[in-house]
């Protein structure tokens, strides 16, 4: 099983989606049926507990080298909003895994702002408040459990709305930020074993397939075009025969591609 870059990407398939109204709460039977239709399962929406365990395996994390200031802008289009939400959630996991109390508050507030834009603030607000309160007391174990409950709560909203496109974009945004973090760590302390963990052909195929089916309007934007092009390049760099690691230079190229995409996602420019 791959390290956090394999899992951190896709927590977002169940974390946030969009709506301009409060969705009715579906029954458990309805949720399971919708999950089946959307293909949401333990692979596409892994437990946050699993993600945090994977991050723990990377310790000690060079936090100052991989942290970024959480963007303060709220994107106006739903595509960039979904990608930004996933990226900020990934930032939150990094802060929790590194037990950085001072970084939890900006993440929590950004999530509330983005959740409002996505139309699910009612699902996120109570958990965000609890996370902030527990971070003040440095109750990291409790924060992990609160994040697990947050995922379950908001996934229910996603299932009720059946918004597959936005769910995948939130997932992709989280994965791209995770890829930047993980490839930065691998580049900073390169070993063939660490680099080999970036080889994920089935995952890249999954996202490339999702991107290919996105709304044509979004695909015509610079961001939409760069997403597909750069994902193809990441796949080229990381597609290797069995037992063949990525070189140190290739790891740096993957890091730079992920970093460039994340900067464009968080930018207010088209």
Distance of alpha carbon 264 from alpha carbon 243, whole angstroms: 34
Q: Counting beta carbons within 10 angstroms of the beta carbon of residue 216, is it exposed (0 to 12), middle (13 to 18) or buried (19 or more)?
A: exposed
- Condensed to tens digits (0 to 9), the pLDDT of residues 44-92 reads 554 445 555 666 766 788 999 999 999 888 998 888 988 898 888 888 8
Predicted local distance difference test score (pLDDT) of residue 49: 59
Residue/partner pairs of 52-57 with CB below 8 Å, 24 or more apart: 52/93, 52/96, 52/97, 52/144, 52/147, 54/3, 54/4, 54/6, 54/7, 54/8, 55/4, 55/8, 55/93, 55/94, 55/96, 55/97, 56/97, 57/3, 57/4
Select from 2, 16, 105 the least CA-distant residue to 51. Answer: 2
Task: For the chain, report the end-to-end CA distance as a whole number of angstroms.
Answer: 37
Question: Which of 101-105, 139-143, 191-195, 232-236 is most confident?
Answer: 232-236
- Condensed to tens digits (0 to 9), the pLDDT of residues 129-147 reads 888 888 889 998 888 777 6
Greater pLDDT, 124 or 54? 124
Annotate 133-164 with DSSP letters as a single string: HHHHTT-HHHHHHHHHHHHHHHHHHHHHHT-H
Distance of alpha carbon 251 from alpha carbon 5, whole angstroms: 13
Distance of alpha carbon 254 from alpha carbon 5, whole angstroms: 12
Distance of alpha carbon 213 from alpha carbon 192, whole angstroms: 35
Coil, helix or strand at residue 266: helix
Considering the entire predicted model, what is its pTM?
Answer: 0.80
Greater pLDDT, 170 or 66? 66
Is residue 178 within 8 A of residue 90, CB to CB? The reply is yes
């Amino acid at each position: 099983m791959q390290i956090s870059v394999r899992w951190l990407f896709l927590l977002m398939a169940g974390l946030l989606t969009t709506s301009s109204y409060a969705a009715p709460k579906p029954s458990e039977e309805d949720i399971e049926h919708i999950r089946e239709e959307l293909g949401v399962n333990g692979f596409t929406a892994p437990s946050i507990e699993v993600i945090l365990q994977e991050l723990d395996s990377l310790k000690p994390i060079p936090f100052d080298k991989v942290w970024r200031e959480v963007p303060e802008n709220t994107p106006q289009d739903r595509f960039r909003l979904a990608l930004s939400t996933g990226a900020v959630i990934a930032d939150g996991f990094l802060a929790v895994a590194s037990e950085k109390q001072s970084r939890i508050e900006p993440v929590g507030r950004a999530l509330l702002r983005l959740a409002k834009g996505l139309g699910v603030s009612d699902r996120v607000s109570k958990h965000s408040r609890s996370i902030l309160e527990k971070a003040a007391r440095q109750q990291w174990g409790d924060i992990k459990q609160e994040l697990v409950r947050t995922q379950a709560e908001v996934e229910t909203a996603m299932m009720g709305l059946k918004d597959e496109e936005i769910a995948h974009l939130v997932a992709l945004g989280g994965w791209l930020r995770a890829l930047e973090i993980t490839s930065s760590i691998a580049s900073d302390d390169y070993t063939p074993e660490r680099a080999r963990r970036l080889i994920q052909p089935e995952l890249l195929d999954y996202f490339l397939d999702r991107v290919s089916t996105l709304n044509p309007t979004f695909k015509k934007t610079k961001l939409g075009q760069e997403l597909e092009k750069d994902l193809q390049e990441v796949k080229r760099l990381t597609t290797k025969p069995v037992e063949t690691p990525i070189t140190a230079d290739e790891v740096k190229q993957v890091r730079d591609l992920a970093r460039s995409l994340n900067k464009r996602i968080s930018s207010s420019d088209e």
